[in-house]
Amino acid sequence: MGEIRPDRRSQSQVWLVIAIVVGSLLIDQAIKLYIATHFALGESHEVTSWFWLCYVENNGMAFGIEWFSKLALTLFRLIAVGLLGWYIHTLIYKQHAKTGYIATIAFIIAGALGNIIDCVFYGKLFGYAGWFYGRVVDMFYFPLIRNSAGEVLFFRPVFNFADSCITCAVAVILLFYMKELSKDAGVKDLESGQK
């Protein structure tokens, strides 16, 4: 029996995943390095009344939540990216999932890797901590709704490009790809088509 070769669709999906991950990582890290080297920690600049660039560092998970130790969180993220890599491989080569769904998973992987890079390298790079103890650089701030005193009522979090990749991809999955989340249904459909 010969070696199973991936079809053109699978090959194009692999290249799409690589392009999304590499492209998103380059954008994310370019923005973070610019902010970290051109802004003082805590410095902010108003771009418009509803969009600011701010330099903050996040010690924990989204919105500054700290449920685990820094090392445990970083290791958890690495394991999660490994599992997502295995999952996307399965989607491409075994389940023949929709390209849009595969792209959303690629954006989640890219976002997770972007924040992992900060955690693994930034502490050492900027000289404030050792390997795996760096902080995530955040910069986007959208104070969309304010009261008459100028206090922000809606959207206080400061986030980064990697966070946006994850959040937008999850939103797209919830809106358009809920069926794809059920792997068992996809496998049964595939098996029934082969009989």
Residues recognised as catalytic: 138, 163
DSSP code of residue 64:
G
Judge whether 50 and 142 are in contact, CB under 8 Å. yes
Q: What share of the chain is helix, strand, coil (3-state, %, to 5)?
A: 60, 15, 25
The two beta strands, 51-58 and 136-141, are antiparallel
58: left (phi over 0), alpha (psi -120 to 50) or beta: beta
CA angle, 6 as apex, 87 and 1 as ends, to 5°?
110
Nearest to 60 by CA among 173, 136, 143, 130: 136
The two beta strands, 158-159 and 51-58, are unpaired
Count of alpha carbons within 13 Å of 139, Cβ hemisphere only? 23
CA distance 186 to 191: 9
